[in-house]
Chains A and B, each alone.
Chain A
Amino acid sequence: MASLKEDPILGIDGITIKEEFEIAKPVIDKLREDRPALETEGTVIKGESVIDKVIEEGSGGQGERDMVPPTCTSIHRSGSRPQLDLSKAAIEGNFEERDPTILLPNQSDDISHLALDIGGSLIKLVYFSRHQDRPTNDKRKKTVKERLGLSNGNRRSYPILGGRLHFVKFETSKINECLDFISSKQLHCGGVDSHSWHSDTSSNGNAVIKATGGGAYKYADLLKERLGVSLDKEDEMDCLVAGANFLLKAIRHEAFTHMEGQKEFVQIDQNDMFPYLLVNIGSGVSMIKVDGDGKFERVSGTNVGGGTYWGLGRLLTKCKSFDELLELSQRGDNGTIDMLVGDIYGGMDYNKIGLSASTIASSFGKAISEKKELTNYRPEDISLSLLRMISYNIGQISYLNALRFGLKRIFFGGFFIRGHAYTMDAISFAVHFWSKGEAQAMFLRHEGFLGALGAFMSYEKHGLDDLMVHQLVESYLGLHPVKRKRKRKRKRKRISWMEKFVQKGTEITAPVPMASSGTTGLGGFEVPSSKGGTLRSDASALNVGVLHLVPTLEVFPQLADPKMYEPNTIDLADHSELEYWFTVLSDHLPDLVDKAVASEGGTDDSKRRGDAFARAFSAHLARLMEEPAAYGKLGLANLLELREECLREFQFVDAYRSIKQRENEASLAVLPDLLVELDSMTEETRLLTLIEGVLAANIFDWGSRACVELYHKGTIIEIYRMSRNKMQRPWRVDDFDAFKERMLGSGDKKPCPHKRALLFVDNSGADVILGMLPLARELLRHGTEVVLVANSLPALNDVTAMELPDIVAEAAKVWPRA
C-alpha cells in the first residue's frame, strides 16, 4: 500500500494489510504451475535490454527473458480504480502467445475528439483527451539512464493509454462562448494526438464534428463560418439512447434512486437492462422506450419541462439563472401558493381516494382566492410550487407511459434535474405514488450529457464498441470547482460555514498556466462553461466527473474469489468515518503541498499551482462532506485517488518524486549487503526470510510512529531486519508451507518451480528493492519467469511501471553474481 509514513496518524492499518495478502495470495497460487527450471544466473542483467523492448510493446520476449516488466497494468488499491487495473485478456494472451496486447494500442486512436449537443437552452460538449506521454524532461531519470548507459529513448514513447472524456456545457444563447472555448482548445482540429482523426481531415478546412440537437441544424452555418467545421448531424433520439446505454453499461454507479433525500446507487445488470423508459428532461421532455442498442421508440413527451420551469420562473421571480431559481426552491414553502387537499377539505384528508391533506389539489390554486399580487409572494415559494408542479407532472406522465409498455425501470436524464435533490425526490415521489410503489425512478449522474455522449459515440461504430469493452473510470476533475466564480449574491445569513469555506475555495483561483503546448489531458484547464455553477449539492457543476478511459479494467482473475474483491476496504458511507479521513487528509494537505512544490523544483509557478491544488482538493473534500455520494459511491480508495487526480490536474506529475528517489537510493545502497546475507543462508531459511522480507517491507512502509522513529535513527537495513523479525507466523494468509514444498520439494517430492510469477509491487524504496526484488531474484533462480506489475500512474510513493526498469537496472548493477 502506498506509503503514508510521513503522516504517522495513519498508522498501520490491518485491513489494508490484509488486502495486501489477498493480492499476494493468488500470485503464490499461481506459482504452482509446473515448469522445468531454466538457467538463472547472469540472465538478469541481460534481461535489461529486453526490458526496454518489452516496455515498448512487449513483443520480443523469448525464453531467456527473466523479468518481464509490467506493461500497462497498474494496481490502484489506493486509487479510485475500483479494480486491479489488469486486463484479463492480456494476461491470457501473454501466457500463450507472448504477445502482450494489454496495451490495446490502437483503440484510442479511433476515438475522435469532440461532439456537440445543441439544445434549446444548453449546448453540451463531450470531448476526449488522451493521456499524454510521461514527461520526458525528468533530469534525474536521464542521469540514471546515463549512468546506466541506457541510451535508447524508447521508453519515452511508452504509451500510457487511455484518456479522458470531458463534459462541458454552455448556454445556447451564449453560443459564442462555446465557440471560443472550442477554438481555444483546438478541439475542432482533432486535438494534438489524434492521428487517425487527422488523417481524414488534413487541415481545418473540412473538419467534421458530430452534433445533435436542434441547434445542429440551426447553428450549422455559424460553426462553419466561425470554426470552419461542418456539423455531421446525428439524430437526437438516436444519440440520447446511445448515450444512455453507454453510461448504463460502462459506468459503475451511474444510475441511482433518490427518495426522500436518500441517494442509492443501482446495480445495473447488463443482461437485464432492457427494456426501459428513458425520460430526457431538457427544455421539453422526450420519453423513449428503449429495447436495446439502437432499438427504441419515442413514445411520448411533454412540453412542460425544464424550459417551462425556467421560463415561467424567470417571469415570476426575476431570477437571473436556472440554478438560482433552483436554489430558491430549497427554501420555499409551496403551501402558501398551492391549493392543498387540506385547504379544500378544511385540513382533513380525503382518505377515500388516498389523498392526504398535504397533497397538492391545484398547483398555484391558492393564488386565486387571495387578494395578493405577484409581489406579495416570496420567490422561494413560487419556485418551489413551480418545481413541484413540473416534477410531479413529468413523473406522472412518465409513469403512465412506462405502464403502457410494461416498463418497470424509468431512467431520468437531461439538464433539468441537475442533481437537485428536491427535483429528484419530487419525480421519484410522483412515480412511486402513481405506480403504488411498483415502478421506480432512477437518475443518471451524467444526466445532461446523454445526447452529446451519443453523438460522440457515433463517430466510429467500431471504436465505440471497443470503448464499451474498456472500463471507464470516473474521476472528479475536469469540471473545476476552482474555476467557477460565484456571480450572484446570496443572502448572507443563509450561508453556512461550509458554504463560505467552499466559496473561498472557488473564488481565489490563481490563474494556472495551461499545460505545455502539445499536450492535452493532464493539466490543462478548461474555461468554465457556465457561470451559474456552484459547489452546492444542487448544482450540476460537480455532479459529473471527467470520465477516464482506462484500458481494460478487470478484477484479477486469479484471485481466490474475484467476485468478492472490493478494493475499497473502508467504506465512507459512515459519516464519522468520512469525517475522520476528511480530517486526516486536510491535516496532511500542507505537507503534501510542500512536497508537491518541492517535486517541481519549488518555482513560483509550482507554488501557485500548489495553492490552487490545495484549494481545489479542499473544495472537493468539502463537497464530499456535504454530499458523500456526489461523485458516485465513496470509499477511502476513491478519496485517495481523488487526491492523486487532483495533483495531476494541477500538473504535479509526481509529488513524491524526490522522496521516492531518496528511498530508492537508500535501499539500493544496502541491497548488496542484504543479498549477501541472503545468499549465505540455507535455501529453506532464505525462502522464509524472503517472504518475511516482502511482508516486512510493506508493513514498515506503512509506518507506525515507532517505525518513523527508527527510520530517523537507524539505517534502512536495520529497520528492515527489525520489522522482518516482527513477522510471526502464522500470518493472516499463510501458504508458506505449501509454497516451500513446491519450491524446494519435500521427501520424495521433487521441486516444481512455477512457470511464471506475477509480482505486484507497491511502494518505492525498501518495499520493492529490499522486499520484492530479492524474491524475484530467488524465483528467477528457480527458473520461474517473473513479471513485475506496478501502477501506471503515480500515487503517493508507489513505484510506477515507468520507474521500474530504471530501478531494476540499478539493482542489477549491484546484484552479486553468486
Chain B
Amino acid sequence: MDCLREIETDGNSNPIQISRLALDIGGSLIKLVYFSRDSGDHEDPLNDSVRISNGVNGRLHFAKFETTNINDCLQFISANKLFFGVTIHLKATGGGAYKFSDLFKEKLGISLEKEDEMDCLVTGANFLLKAVNHEAFTYLNGQKEFVQIDHNDLYPYLLVNIGSGVSMIKVDGDGKFERVSGTSVGGGTFWGLGKLLTKCQSFDELLELSQRGNNRVLDMLVGDIYGGMDYSKIGLSSTAIASSFGRAISNSNELHDYKPEDVSRSLLRMISNNIGQISYLNALQFGLKRIFFGGFFTRGHSYTMDTISVAVHFWSKGEAKAMFLRHEGFLGALGAFMSYERHSLGDLMVNQSVQIPVDASSSTDTNYNPLERDLNETESMQCSVYQA
C-alpha cells in the first residue's frame, strides 16, 4: 500500500508523528485512521497518548491495505510504532481484530483492544455527519449534491455499510443504534464474482470496466420478455431489468464470448440495485427517511452510487433518498479511533475539528500520487484537538 511510501517520504523531510492509530480489519480490507500533529507542534510523542495538551493541531490520516496483505500493514505499524508509547494498545474493530489478534501480539507485541464493529461504524458515521462539512451528498443522474446536515435533526437514520457484506443499522443517536438487517450480497460478492467472471486483477479495475459496459447484453429486460413493450400496468418500463444475467440463459454464448465490461456492468447493477432495495425496505420498516451509505464498495464510483440512488428512488417512489459519505470506507476505523478516551476527546473533536479539502491536504505530501488519491479521496483531514 502506498501509504507506507507516503509516510516514509514524510518521515524524511517532515516526519509525521503518529500519536494515535486505530484499525478496522475487515474481510477484504484493513482500514487505518491515525492522527499526526502538525509539524510545528513538538510535543513528546511518547507521552502523547496519555497527555493531550489543550490545543493540539494535527491531521487525521486515512489509509487502507488489503487484508490478504496484512504484512504490509504490520510493517507500516512497526515502522511507526515508536510513536505510540511504551505499553502498546491499539484500538481495533472488525472481525480481523479477533482473527489477527495473535499475529499482532506475536509480530509487533501489540495488543489489539477490540471495539465492537457496529459501535464503531455508528460512532464514525455520527462523527463525520456532525463534524465534517460536506461529508454527505446525494448522487442522482450523475449530479453530486452536498447535503447540509442539521445536527438537531439528524436522527434517526439508516446507516448502510457496504463492505464485503452489508450491514444495515438504524441509528437513533450517539451510541444508540440497532443492527436491523444486512445482506451477504455486497462488495465481496461484486469483487468475488467479478474476479471469477472477468479475470480482473483488482477491485478498481473491475469497477473501471463496468463504466464501459452495457448491461443489456446479459440482463433480461422487461422488453426482452414482452417483445419490446413495457409492462406499464405494474410500472415496469421495457428497459427495467427483469432478471439479472437472465439473457445468459437463452443463447449459446459461453463466458468468454461476453465482454468483461458487460459482465462487470451487469454485476454492479445487480448488487447496487439489490442493496438499494433492501436498504429502502428496511428504512421503510422503521420509518426512516434518510439512508446513508458507507463502506468501501461504493468508492465514490459514480455509477454505483447512481444505481443505488435509483433503486432507493424507484422503490420508495421518490420518498426516500440515498446519501453517501465521502469517508465512506473509514467509518469503522474512525469509530475505533474515537473510542480512545471517548469522554474527554470525542465531544471536543466533534465540535472543533475542521475538515480541509483533500487537495489542500495533499499539498504537503510532495510525493503524493494523485492516481492513488482518486481512489481514496480522503487521505487526511486537518483537525484541532483540545482537551476538555
Residues of A within 8 A of B (CB): 119-121, 172-173, 213-215, 217-219, 235-237, 282-284, 298, 300, 302-308, 310-312, 314-316, 318, 337-339, 341, 343-348, 350, 352-353, 359-369, 373-374, 377, 382, 389, 392-393, 396-397, 400-401, 403-404, 434
The reply to whether A400 and B285 contact each other, CB–CB distance below 8 Å, is yes
Among the listed B100, B183, B222, which residue makes an inter-chain contact with A396, where contact means beta carbons less than 8 Å apart?
Answer: B183
The reply to whether A353 and B254 contact each other, CB–CB distance below 8 Å, is no
The reply to whether B255 and A316 contact each other, CB–CB distance below 8 Å, is yes
Q: A352-B116, A367-B196, A400-B278 are in contact. Are A343 and B258 (CB under 8 A)?
A: no
The reply to whether B250 and A121 contact each other, CB–CB distance below 8 Å, is yes
Contacts of B67 in A (CB 8 A): 369
How many A-B pairs with Cβ below 8 Å? 241
Q: Which of B217-257 contact A (CB under 8 A)?
A: 218-220, 222, 224-229, 231, 233-234, 240-250, 254-255
The answer to the question of B188 belonging to the interface, with a C-beta cut-off of 8 Å to chain A, is: yes
Among the listed A298, A304, A353, A361, which residue makes an inter-chain contact with B184, where contact means beta carbons less than 8 Å apart?
Answer: A361
Contacts of A310 in B (CB 8 A): 246, 248-249
The answer to the question of B147 belonging to the interface, with a C-beta cut-off of 8 Å to chain A, is: no
Among the listed A341, A364, A434, which residue makes an inter-chain contact with B95, where contact means beta carbons less than 8 Å apart?
Answer: A341
The reply to whether B95 and A346 contact each other, CB–CB distance below 8 Å, is yes
Contacts of B249 in A (CB 8 A): 120-121, 173, 283, 307, 310-311, 314
Contacts of B165 in A (CB 8 A): 339, 360-362, 365
CB distance from B336 to the nearest CB of A (A): 15
CB distance from B111 to the nearest CB of A (A): 16
Interface with A: B5-13, B45-53, B269-277, B373-381, which one? Answer: B269-277
Q: A284-B220, A389-B189 are in contact. Are A311 and B247 (CB under 8 A)?
A: yes
The reply to whether B231 and A350 contact each other, CB–CB distance below 8 Å, is no
Contacts of B95 in A (CB 8 A): 341, 343-346, 348, 350, 361
CB distance from A486 to the nearest CB of B (A): 21
The reply to whether A346 and B98 contact each other, CB–CB distance below 8 Å, is yes
Question: In the complex the two chains form, what is the Cα distance from A212 to B234 in whole Å?
Answer: 15
The answer to the question of B57 belonging to the interface, with a C-beta cut-off of 8 Å to chain A, is: no
Q: A361-B165, A365-B164, A389-B185 are in contact. Are A316 and B98 (CB under 8 A)?
A: no
Question: In the complex the two chains form, what is the Cα distance from A236 to B186 in whole Å?
Answer: 32
The answer to the question of B1 belonging to the interface, with a C-beta cut-off of 8 Å to chain A, is: no
Contacts of B184 in A (CB 8 A): 338, 359-363, 365, 389, 392
The reply to whether B27 and A315 contact each other, CB–CB distance below 8 Å, is no
Contacts of B56 in A (CB 8 A): none
The 5 closest A-B pairs by CB, nearest first: A365-B188, A307-B246, A344-B95, A346-B99, A307-B243
The reply to whether B118 and A400 contact each other, CB–CB distance below 8 Å, is no
The reply to whether A315 and B255 contact each other, CB–CB distance below 8 Å, is yes
The reply to whether A218 and B225 contact each other, CB–CB distance below 8 Å, is yes
The answer to the question of B58 belonging to the interface, with a C-beta cut-off of 8 Å to chain A, is: no
The reply to whether B196 and A218 contact each other, CB–CB distance below 8 Å, is no
Q: A343-B27, A361-B188, A369-B68 are in contact. Are A304 and B281 (CB under 8 A)?
A: no
Contacts of A348 in B (CB 8 A): 95, 98
Contacts of A120 in B (CB 8 A): 220, 224-225, 242-243, 246, 249-250
Contacts of B243 in A (CB 8 A): 120, 282-284, 303, 305-308, 311
The reply to whether A307 and B193 contact each other, CB–CB distance below 8 Å, is no
15 pairs from A and B in contact (CB 8 Å cutoff): A120-B224, A120-B242, A120-B250, A173-B250, A214-B222, A217-B229, A236-B231, A283-B243, A300-B281, A344-B95, A362-B163, A365-B164, A365-B184, A368-B188, A369-B67
The reply to whether A302 and B242 contact each other, CB–CB distance below 8 Å, is no
Question: In the complex the two chains form, what is the Cα distance from A396 to B277 in whole Å?
Answer: 11
CB distance from A236 to the nearest CB of B (A): 7
The reply to whether A311 and B246 contact each other, CB–CB distance below 8 Å, is yes
The reply to whether B185 and A283 contact each other, CB–CB distance below 8 Å, is no
Q: A304-B274, A338-B184 are in contact. Are A366 and B199 (CB under 8 A)?
A: no
Q: A173-B250, A236-B231, A284-B242 are in contact. Are A368 and B195 (CB under 8 A)?
A: yes
The reply to whether B118 and A337 contact each other, CB–CB distance below 8 Å, is no
Query: In the complex, what residue of chain B is closest to A347 when comparing beta carbons?
Result: B99
Query: In the complex, what residue of chain A is closest to B25 when comparing beta carbons?
Result: A344
Question: In the complex the two chains form, what is the Cα distance from A804 to B335 in whole Å?
Answer: 87
CB distance from A714 to the nearest CB of B (A): 69
Q: A361-B165, A400-B281 are in contact. Are A315 and B258 (CB under 8 A)?
A: yes
Query: In the complex, what residue of chain B is closest to A352 when comparing beta carbons?
Result: B116
Question: In the complex the two chains form, what is the Cα distance from A219 to B246 in whole Å?
Answer: 18
Question: In the complex the two chains form, what is the Cα distance from A282 to B225 in whole Å?
Answer: 12
Among the listed A315, A337, A338, A404, which residue makes an inter-chain contact with B197, where contact means beta carbons less than 8 Å apart?
Answer: A315
Question: In the complex the two chains form, what is the Cα distance from A219 to B218 in whole Å?
Answer: 21
The answer to the question of B124 belonging to the interface, with a C-beta cut-off of 8 Å to chain A, is: no
Contacts of B179 in A (CB 8 A): 353
The reply to whether B281 and A397 contact each other, CB–CB distance below 8 Å, is yes
**Other A-B pairs beyond A283-B249, A302-B277, A362-B164, 12, CB < 8 Å:** A121-B249, A284-B243, A303-B219, A303-B244, A308-B245, A312-B245, A315-B255, A345-B95, A363-B192, A364-B192, A368-B191, A374-B255
Q: A298-B234, A316-B197, A367-B193 are in contact. Are A217 and B227 (CB under 8 A)?
A: yes
The reply to whether B27 and A308 contact each other, CB–CB distance below 8 Å, is no
Among the listed A218, A298, A344, which residue makes an inter-chain contact with B96, where contact means beta carbons less than 8 Å apart?
Answer: A344
Question: In the complex the two chains form, what is the Cα distance from A344 to B187 in whole Å?
Answer: 14
Question: In the complex the two chains form, what is the Cα distance from A347 to B98 in whole Å?
Answer: 9
Contacts of A352 in B (CB 8 A): 116, 118
Contacts of B118 in A (CB 8 A): 352-353
The reply to whether B231 and A362 contact each other, CB–CB distance below 8 Å, is no
The reply to whether B274 and A302 contact each other, CB–CB distance below 8 Å, is yes
Contacts of A368 in B (CB 8 A): 27-28, 164, 188, 191-192, 195, 203
Q: A362-B189, A374-B197 are in contact. Are A311 and B245 (CB under 8 A)?
A: yes
